[in-house]
Structure 1
Amino acid sequence: MIQERLIQTVISILLSAGYDVSERCLLRPRSFDLLASGKKGLVIIKIVSQIDSVSEEIAFDLEAMGHHLRAVPIIIGERARDAPLERSAVYLRYGLFAVAPSTLYDYLVEGVPPLVYASPGGLYVGIDGIRLREMRERHNLSLGDLAHILGVSRRTISKYESGMGTTLEMALKLEELFDEAIVQPIDLFIDRPYDLTESIYQNEIEEASPAGHLKEMGLELHPFRRAPFQVVALFEKNTIFACFGPAQKTVKRAALIGNLSQIAHARSLCILSDYHNEKKIGKTLVIGEEKLYSLEEGSDLINLIPE
């Protein structure tokens, strides 16, 4: 019941902010619960009560998916360890932002970004280093002067001016001293660069398989274990969510990945091992393996799949 309430709260916030929201991903295992598209782009959302339950492998999947879909992954939760997530604070889980629903509401609906990073060591903020240097020089203070006033080293002040963050307490001292805002707001949906190695699942693509044939046709494949689609396939400017297998296990995914592809402005495809016709289920093209093997070029496949 707690998880259901949390998911409905997040959906309500997204809709209030004017976002298009996908159907819930109920298939297991799953690395995300919702896709949403709006004024800040495509967002991949994982919703959990305890953010500590998000494993490193799930975080990697979210980050990789964000990279390949040009989307921002985010975790929405209520608690970290035994404490509730603070409003207007951003937590980190394996490098991904995690926030409370109230923080998401403030950011999307009220237009108020969070300011504070929360960690086991306390609350931290980002400082506008250029602004700090300008204020220091405007008040005719040297690095040493400011360091003496704050009780820190000259090196620390120099690092602040180079962009190093600091504690909330120190930031408040600086703002009180200069009577100006210096804390940088946190953009939750900023398109951050990802340092990704090749997918750890790449070696699972067999040459003598539908996925292998897609590669031969010139498509770039990125496999996922915890998504309703098994691969994200890229061809020229097209993105395809694709799944493979027997009809009994695969067809039930068709409508869901079609809905997800609509939110992500992608295409969707199901390739069945025991099917010999061609049909559409919602936005998803469903074909048999024989039909796939009859195609030679990626463009041939793109022409079959509805946008």
Structure 2
Amino acid sequence: MSQDRQLQLVTSVMISAGFAVSEKFTLRPRSFDLIARNNGTLIVIKVVTHIDSVSEEAAFDLDAISRHLGGVPLIVGERAREAELERGAVYVRYGIYAISVSTLYDYFVEKIPPLVYASPGGLYVNINGDALRELRERRNMSLGDLGQVLGVSRRTISKYESGMGTTLEVAIKIEEYFNTGVVESIEIVQREQKEAAPAAQETAAPPARGHEPGNPIEFLEELGIQLHTLRGAPFQALLTFDRHTILTGYGPAQKVVKRAALISNLSTIAKKHAMCIAPDFHHEKKIGRTLMIGEERLHAIEDGFELLDMLGE
């Protein structure tokens, strides 16, 4: 399936689920493809064919953008290594959940959360350890007794009750033996759930990233405005000040004017401010929600609050 077709499907799924979805953009390279929002939930989505093609740097940008926008990063793909992504399964790329379009549909439209996660060696599930312990104790079974039933050691049962995941085969045996469910679903929209399945994660420390040398707007930091430089987004930076976030593009006027409308659309979905800065622009105007401003005028502001007044609501 082509990426354009994938993007269309992902957009359709999110709209069907009641989300407002950003416009398609074709800038390359890009660390994300869509932003979707519904009832305060913001999802920053990267659409790929192979989830292994998402680099560490792209994943870092995707995660950073999501955090600053108050959203959740998500990768939607077709394949991992040589196999298609399983429906109802969650994969992880540099700590970010990756799922198929079918799983996306099940979760957001049908409200059916995935139950399994992929890890080296196969598919696994998370067990509700407290529920398992309670079921075992109700039957007056020791750890060893249950271990014999499942064909595992008493130490392994102890680990299950402490929150360790297990294989689908063992989970099915547990549920059939007790005739009740003990498998926990995976909540994609909750960032803290990324910690729920450590075996599925790839350990990778984010590279140190700050502003780049010679950044034309780094002087804003002197005004107490934080600058977060990005490499693969339609906006080259995120500015944060007084709990406000500003999607910011900069460069020659001819180029940033073309980005201004797109950045405006993204800021509308994300409910953030938008600004484009050009050293050769000598006016001040709005393109949609995006403030188009010259660098000289920007140098004249006294503090971040003045900038927020210029951006308006």
Contact map agreement 1:35 1:44 (CA 8 A) in 2 = yes
Deviation at 1:197, TM superposition (A): 7.7
2:209 aligned with 1:204: no
Deviation at 1:211, TM superposition (A): 1.9
Deviation at 1:11, TM superposition (A): 0.3
1:202-222, Cα deviation, whole Å (9 max, x unpaired): 14154xx54222111111111
Aligned to 1:28: 28
Deviation at 1:192, TM superposition (A): 2.5
What is the aligned-residue RMSD (CA, Å)? 1.8
2:220 aligned with 1:245: no
1:226-305 map, 5 Å: 226-305=232-311
1:100-122, Cα deviation, whole Å (9 max, x unpaired): 11100010011100101123411
2:123 aligned with 1:123: yes
Question: Take 2:207 and 2:218, find their aligned partners in 1: how far apart are those partners?
Answer: 15
Question: Take 1:253 and 1:200, find their aligned partners in 2: how far apart are those partners?
Answer: 27
1:104-183 map, 5 Å: 104-183=104-183
Contact map agreement 1:199 1:223 (CA 8 A) in 2 = no
Question: Take 2:229 and 2:270, find their aligned partners in 1: how far apart are those partners?
Answer: 17
Give 3-state SS (helix, strand or coil) of 2:192's partner: coil
Which residue type is aligned with residue 200 of structure 1?
A
Percent same amino acid among aligned pairs? 56
Question: Mean alpha-carbon deviation: is it higher for 150-159 or for 165-174?
Answer: 150-159
Deviation at 1:172, TM superposition (A): 0.5
Question: Take 1:265 and 1:299, find their aligned partners in 2: how far apart are those partners?
Answer: 18
Question: Take 1:211 and 1:198, find their aligned partners in 2: how far apart are those partners?
Answer: 24
Give 3-state SS (helix, strand or coil) of 1:11's partner: helix
Contact map agreement 2:211 2:229 (CA 8 A) in 1 = no
TM superposition outliers: structure 1 runs of 4+ over 3 Å: 193-201
Structure 1: segments with no counterpart, 5+ residues: none
Question: Take 2:28 and 2:123, find their aligned partners in 1: how far apart are those partners?
Answer: 35
Question: Take 2:206 and 2:212, find their aligned partners in 1: how far apart are those partners?
Answer: 12
Give 3-state SS (helix, strand or coil) of 1:280's partner: strand
Aligned to 2:222: 216
Which residue type is aligned with residue 61 of structure 2?
D
Distance 1:250-1:32 versus aligned 2 partners, 3 A rule: same
Contact map agreement 1:63 1:194 (CA 8 A) in 2 = no
Deviation at 1:3, TM superposition (A): 1.1
Structure 2: segments with no counterpart, 5+ residues: 196-203
1:243-273, Cα deviation, whole Å (9 max, x unpaired): 1111122111111111111111100001111
Give 3-state SS (helix, strand or coil) of 2:307's partner: helix
Which residue type is aligned with residue 74 of structure 1?
L
Give 3-state SS (helix, strand or coil) of 2:97's partner: strand
Name the count of aligned residue pairs.
305
Contact map agreement 2:45 2:74 (CA 8 A) in 1 = yes
Question: Take 1:276 and 1:298, find their aligned partners in 2: how far apart are those partners?
Answer: 21
Which residue type is aligned with residue 167 of structure 1?
T
Aligned to 1:42: 42
Which residue type is aligned with residue 83 of structure 1?
A
Which residue type is aligned with residue 131 of structure 2?
R
Distance 1:194-1:204 versus aligned 2 partners, 3 A rule: farther
Which residue type is aligned with residue 21 of structure 2?
V
Question: Take 1:203 and 1:279, find their aligned partners in 2: how far apart are those partners?
Answer: 27
Aligned to 2:16: 16
Which residue type is aligned with residue 121 of structure 2?
G
Aligned to 1:96: 96
